[in-house]
Structure 1
Amino acid sequence: MTPKISESEKEKRRMHIIQSAGEVFKRKGYVNSTMQDIVDETEMSRGWVYLYFSSKDEIMKVILAENDKETEAQIKNLLTSGLSVWKGLCGLIDMMEQQLSNASDELPIVIYEYFISGWKEQERRSMLEEHYKKQQAYLVHYLQKGVEDGEFNPRVDLDVINKMITSYFEGVLLHTKAAGIGNVRVKEQLRLFKSILKEVLQVHDLEGES
């Protein structure tokens, strides 16, 4: 007779599979990873893993959903932090530099690989569009707060600035992973990007921040 497993234990096993899959994807890439690789990484039986997930695609969708939740939580934390929006934006840019400096953090590039490798599949393209819209919605909401608080008097449409930020971050990420952080000169680029962003947003220096 199979022993009963508590809901908390089920969730613990589920999260272990997701985390193990993430490690496999970061090490081998999404395309080159197999369900057997994930089973081996979990050190669980094949039957147990398939009880929770039937494919690596199913696991990747959960990872994407968690990534979106983390982004949303990050913006919500900034909204309630008491920091000015400009200071919060600068913090996000600094955080990106730290992320790019961390060679072991390959999850962002795995996400791009997942979408690019399936760009001709309608479901994958629809997911990418939804993912993009969510990321845009989180950030534009934050930028709008800067306008409402009197911090920003943007020179161009806020939506265009929002998309510029996203495109820039993604471009720097891809170039850094392809050519290396030193060759891309990330630190200098991000410093310049802050200056450009400050000019485009027309930041009103409420707290004497740079």
Structure 2
Amino acid sequence: MSPRLTDHRKEQRSRQILDAAKSVFIRKGYGSVSLKDIIEETGMSRGWIYLYYQTKEEIFEALLDHQDLEYEQYLEYLTAASSPVWQIIVTLYTQQLHDLEQTEGGGMVPAFYEYFLVGWRDSSRREMLKQRYERGIVRFADLLRLGVSRGEFNPVMDLGQISRLVSSFQEGIVTHSITVGTRQAGTRLQFNALLNYLYSLLQPSAGKAKDFFDLGEELL
């Protein structure tokens, strides 16, 4: 009889599988990856993998959930530090710019697009993408709302609409950066333009303009 795994050990095994899968998806995208590729990357037996996940799709979705959780925890850490919300925004965009410039091929993003855009006719994937999109819009709008509550912003339009506008701008930057490369896409310039556009929509409170522009210059 095999020994029972503790909850901690189960979590470690699951994380090991997801980390291995992430490496494979970054190298090969989504479509060309097989469950066999992931199994070989983990160094585990097929039987061990099946104790946790049954399909490549299930692993990919679990990986996305895990990354979402990590992002939310990172955002909570930034907001808990009582930093100005604009500084938090600049930090988030700077990190994304760094990831695009440093990670060959765009990291996990191409696999994400393959899964959801190439497979958009699958109703379950389409519904999942809609839900993820709305969560992202709400998350960013909540961050802006925090800035308003602190007296940092005087937005010229609804925060949800601002969140949707900058999301579309951001997605375009990321897509072009991946497909033609960050140099040709002018990714750094585009992120700075995004910050300037967002600044014009948020209208920072009087007396704080210099601080806001100084932070924005980090992307120049």
TM bin, normalised by shorter chain, reads: over 0.9
In 2: Cα distance, 1:141 partner to 1:132 partner = 14
More displaced 10-residue stretch of structure 1: 159-168 or 29-38: 159-168
CA contact (8 A) 2:166 2:194 kept: no
More displaced 10-residue stretch of structure 1: 132-141 or 95-104: 95-104
Partner of 2:194: 193
Paired residues for 1:12-23 under 5 Å = 12-23=12-23
Question: Cα gap change, 1:36/1:156 in structure 2, threshold over 3 Å: closer, same or farther?
Answer: same
Structure 2 spans left out of the alignment, 5+ residues: 214-220
Identity of aligned residues (%): 32
1:206 aligns with 2:213: no
CA shift, 1:4, in A, is 3.7
In 2: Cα distance, 1:7 partner to 1:96 partner = 33
More displaced 10-residue stretch of structure 1: 88-97 or 177-186: 88-97
Aligned length: 210
CA shift, 1:126, in A, is 0.9
Question: Normalising by the residue count of structure 1, what TM-score does the alignment of the two structures yield?
Answer: 0.93
1:8 aligns with 2:4: no
In 1: Cα distance, 2:135 partner to 2:108 partner = 18
Structure 1 spans left out of the alignment, 5+ residues: none
Paired residue secondary structure (1:135): helix
Paired residue secondary structure (1:156): coil
Instruction: Tell me the amino acid that sits aligned with residue 72 of structure 2.
Output: E
Paired residues for 1:30-179 under 5 Å = 30-104=30-104, 106-179=107-180
In 2: Cα distance, 1:26 partner to 1:70 partner = 18
Partner of 1:184: 185
CA shift, 1:66, in A, is 1.2
Describe the superposition over 1:40-59 as per-residue Cα deviations: whole angstroms up to 9, x where unpaired. 11111111112211101111
CA contact (8 A) 2:85 2:146 kept: yes
CA contact (8 A) 2:156 2:202 kept: yes
Paired residue secondary structure (2:36): helix
Instruction: Tell me the amino acid that sits aligned with residue 95 of structure 1.
Output: Q
In 1: Cα distance, 2:146 partner to 2:171 partner = 23
In 2: Cα distance, 1:179 partner to 1:61 partner = 27
CA shift, 1:208, in A, is 3.8
Question: Normalising by the residue count of structure 2, what TM-score does the alignment of the two structures yield?
Answer: 0.89
Please identify runs of 4+ aligned residues in structure 1 that moved more than 4 A.
none
CA shift, 1:89, in A, is 1.2
In 2: Cα distance, 1:92 partner to 1:7 partner = 33
In 2: Cα distance, 1:78 partner to 1:162 partner = 19
More displaced 10-residue stretch of structure 1: 107-116 or 199-208: 199-208
In 1: Cα distance, 2:86 partner to 2:9 partner = 43
In 2: Cα distance, 1:67 partner to 1:113 partner = 17
